[in-house]
Amino acid sequence: MNAIISASELADVLRSERPPVLLDVRWQLSTAAASGQPFDGRAAYASGHIPGAVFVDLDRELASTPGPRGRHPLPDLDVFGAAMRRAGVSAGTPVVAYDGGIGWAAARAWWLLRWTGHPDVRVLDGGLPAWDGPLEAEAEAEAEASAPAEGDFVPKPAEGAVLDADGAAALARSGVLLDARAGERYRGEVEPIDPVGGHIPGALSAPTSDNVDADGRFRPAAELRARFGELGVTRDVPVGVYCGSGVSAAHEVLALEVAGIPAALYVGSWSEWTSDPARPVAVGPDPQ
């Protein structure tokens, strides 16, 4: 099953006898919008969303409290499971996640559901901007009493799909560890969020932005395989990905999945790595 779905394909399956559960996971990395107010995904959802979609809060339901394990540590599984069931997710129900277009937040939801055992979850390629169908405001949804029936999904994490700091460091030596952040952050030229710039020694720079075209849609699978192949990534080599806090890295894991390459996620990522000053930091374009 493809891990992504186009807007036209989504429109078709929403009209089918087995429509998917829709998760609206709008979120932004920046703490404030141009107006100076923090981005409010819940308000964006309320103003207009794909009909039938349920809002999921990345910071509260797809992650736990920031701290030494990073800005977006793994969520408490009881909290995550309850959020998915509230949205109508069941083990046998297909799921489609979307966000405002960049794809990171939707990929985080996709990765968590896949990691915890859901067999049928996809991301809307291009996010909400790719959708040309009708939108529904929250007041309209409430008037139609369209809250989904409670789902039965119970998260059961898989082994081997998650890296900790030691595992990421080891993989940088024994396999391929990809850094999904912007190149200037990898090189340590700028660091707008975390206390130290640079990268995990041995990691290779592979910005998430290179996975998509100008419209924010994923490049074809063959192009992605070629892109990752130039970095030494194949199905025969263990691969891991990290970013700043385990969100954009989930998008890179999704791109690798589209390319047919499994990869592990270092959820704590750079925000966890730099919380311990004893961990080594490399700077510049050289992986070491």
* 121 DSSP 8-state letter: E
Burial 234-270 (b: 16+ CB within 10 A, else e): eeeeebbbbbbbbbbbbbbbbbbbbbebebbbbbbbb
Nearest in space to 244 (alpha carbons), one of 70, 62, 99: 70
Per-residue tokens: 92? 């046998």
Report the alpha-carbon distance of residue 41 to residue 63 in Å, rounded.
15
Report the alpha-carbon distance of residue 65 to residue 42 in Å, rounded.
19
Q: Is 243 a catalytic residue?
A: yes
* 136 DSSP 8-state letter: B
Active-site entry in 243, 250, 267, 282: 243
Report the alpha-carbon distance of residue 164 to residue 114 in Å, rounded.
18
Question: What residues are annotated to the active site?
Answer: 243
